[in-house]
């Protein structure tokens, strides 16, 4: 079983060649300006990489999630920030798995051609956080449309996306027997009247926002799947999200270890390369091992997902292990560079900030541990 770096070599080479057109100077400039990498995202779209999961009948490539994860891995391994575009991959999965034939025929060909972007997902709310079943945003059916009121936070890439996946209650929380019932998912056109967007400046160049929803009207035809089953659809999509994020972290981890190793070979102090010292060698070697181990869990989770088998535990473990490994590799890389690691010119500090996000989002470390404790180890629910 070939799960190493030679996995999908032609795919890797093609994505790497495209990413090579956008060097570290490009990403540093984008980061410095707090801009959106339009040129890079457009290039990925034109090449068909962001439509990788769309079936061929709708103009996509019809690739597996495993192959899609390789694309995201190569973006970060090449020094890019996949956070600018990964939403298209996992949001697409919600439409693919649960959308109607009419919805797919209407939107998928345009997404495949790069005419539309489906980068945004409105789920998290200020008063709920990761307690998704406690959301308050309410969608009320009125004839052939739903009228929605509420608020979302940390809705990323909304300003650069024509479409958004929106989770809202169609039955108030007080009226359901089970908290996970009564939520529905909608496909929203982001230019619709009733959406007020306020950017959140944050630690990384990650375009994210507060969204105030005031009498937003959504055609009933834009309800994805059955009313009231949105939370189940969301969980299905989140497994894809966590696997793709894991792959991005793997790419980051390799970038850090390769960068640290190269610098350790070249940097001479006291008449010898610093990489000759075990104090430098060992942390890099350990980081590399952790990334390789996390990579195996990433491929296991992706394989289960592609076979439409339960992969909740594996997707969570892959995301956690990869995020942890990439963050440790980032620390080692920064330490290896010493003072130069803080200089923007070396690009370590940018990637250092970017990879730190994934220990917090899209799901925090503690929530993953709580999930495994309850659902895998059979321990009592802790919250």
The model's pLDDT over 204-258, given as tens digits with 9 standing for 90+, comes to 999 999 999 999 999 999 999 999 999 999 888 889 999 999 999 999 999 999 9
The whole-number average pLDDT for the span 321-339 is 98
pTM: 0.94
* Domains 9-112 and 232-375 fall in the same CATH topology: no
Q: What is the pLDDT of residue 237?
A: 83
Let me know if 241 is a catalytic residue.
yes
Task: Look at strands 183-189 and 163-169 and give their pairing.
Answer: antiparallel
SS3 294: helix
Catalytic residue, candidates 73, 74, 125, 241? 241
pLDDT tens-digit map of 295-318: 999 999 999 999 999 999 999 999
Q: How far is CA 322 from the centre of its chain?
A: 13
DSSP alpha helices (H): ranges in 312-382? Answer: 312-337, 348-356, 365-375
Mean pLDDT of 333-354: 97
**pLDDT (average), residues 166-176:** 95
Mean pLDDT (whole number) for 345-349: 97
- pLDDT of amino acid 2: 46
The class (CATH top level) of 9-112 is: mainly alpha
**In the predicted model, what is the mean pLDDT of residues 364-376?**
95
∠ CA 295-353-254, rounded to 5°? 30
pLDDT of residue 6: 58
246-282 confidence digits (pLDDT tens) = 999 999 999 999 999 999 999 999 999 999 999 999 9
Q: Where are the domains of the chain?
A: 9-112, 120-228, 232-375
Q: Would you mind telling me the total number of residues written for the chain in this entry?
A: 383
Q: What is the mean pLDDT of the chain?
A: 95
Residues near 317 by Cβ (< 8 Å), separated by ≥ 6?
297, 301, 368, 372
pLDDT of residue 35: 96
Residue 1 pLDDT? 41
CATH class of 232-375: mainly alpha
**Cβ partners under 8 Å of residue 226, min gap 6:** none
CA 180, CA 228: separation in Å to the nearest integer? 9
Tokens of 42: 């457009």
Write the DSSP symbol of residue 201. -
Inform me whether the pLDDT recorded for 18 exceeds 90: yes
The tens digit of pLDDT for each residue in 53-104 reads 999 999 999 999 999 999 999 999 999 999 999 988 888 888 988 999 999 9
CATH fold for domain 120-228: Butyryl-CoA Dehydrogenase, subunit A; domain 2 (2.40.110)
Long-range Cβ pairs for the range 128-134 (8 Å, 24+): 130/363, 130/364, 130/367, 132/167, 132/231, 132/234, 133/173, 133/179, 133/180, 133/183, 133/231, 134/173, 134/179
Q: How far is CA 287 from CA 23, 163, 206, 265, 294, in A?
A: 24, 38, 26, 17, 11
Q: Which whole number is the average pLDDT over 167-187? A: 95
Phi, psi of 205 (to 5 degrees): -80, 75
Mean pLDDT of 336-340: 98
Percent of the chain with pLDDT over 70: 98
Q: Is residue 51 scored above 80 in pLDDT? A: yes
- What CA–CA distances, in Å, run from 273 to 132, 205, 248, 278, 281? 51, 34, 31, 11, 11
Looking only at the bridges linking them, the beta strands covering 163-169 and 120-122 are: parallel
pLDDT of residue 93: 83
In the predicted model, is pLDDT for residue 283 greater than 80? yes
Please state the rounded mean pLDDT for residues 176-199: 96
Distance CA 251, CA 264 (A): 20
């Amino acid at each position: 079983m070939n799960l190493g770096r030679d996995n999908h070599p032609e795919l890797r080479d093609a994505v790497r060649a495209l990413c090579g057109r956008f060097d570290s100077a490009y990403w540093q400039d984008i980061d410095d300006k707090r801009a959106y990498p339009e040129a890079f995202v457009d290039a990925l779209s034109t090449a068909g990489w962001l439509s990788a999961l769309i079936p061929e009948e709708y103009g996509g490539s019809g690739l597996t999630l495993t192959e899609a994860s390789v694309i995201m891995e190569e973006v970060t391994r090449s020094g890019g920030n996949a956070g600018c575009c990964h939403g298209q991959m996992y949001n697409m999965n919600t439409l693919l798995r649960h959308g109607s034939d009419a919805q797919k025929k209407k939107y998928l060909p345009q997404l495949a051609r790069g005419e539309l972007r489906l980068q945004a997902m409105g789920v998290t709310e200020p008063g709920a956080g990761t307690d998704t079943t406690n959301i308050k945003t309410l969608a009320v059916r009125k004839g052939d449309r739903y009228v929605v009121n509420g608020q979302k936070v940390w809705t990323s890439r909304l300003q650069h996306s024509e479409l958004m996946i929106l989770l809202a209650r169609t039955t108030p929380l007080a009226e359901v027997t089970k908290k996970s019932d009564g939520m529905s998912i909608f496909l929203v056109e982001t230019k619709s009247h009733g959406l007020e967007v306020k950017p959140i400046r944050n630690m990384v160049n990650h375009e994210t926002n507060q969204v105030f929803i005031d009498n937003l009207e959504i055609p009933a035809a834009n309800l994805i799947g059955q009313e009231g089953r949105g939370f189940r659809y969301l969980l299905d999509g989140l497994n894809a999200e966590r696997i793709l994020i894991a792959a991005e972290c793997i790419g980051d981890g390799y970038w850090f270890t390769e960068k640290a190793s190269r610098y350790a070979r070249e940097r001479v102090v006291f008449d010898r390369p610093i990489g000759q010292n075990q104090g430098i060698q060992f942390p890099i070697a350990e980081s590399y091992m952790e990334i390789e181990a996390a990579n195996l869990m990433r491929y296991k989770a992706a394989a289960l997902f592609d076979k439409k088998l339960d992969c909740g535990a594996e997707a969570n473990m892959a995301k956690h292990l990869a995020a942890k490994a990439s963050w440790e590799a980032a620390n080692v890389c920064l330490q290896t560079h010493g003072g130069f690691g803080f200089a923007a010119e070396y690009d370590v500090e940018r990637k250092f900030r970017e990879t730190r996000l994934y220990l917090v989002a899209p799901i925090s470390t503690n929530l993953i541990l709580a999930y495994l404790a309850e659902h895998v180890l059979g321990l009592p629910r802790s919250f």
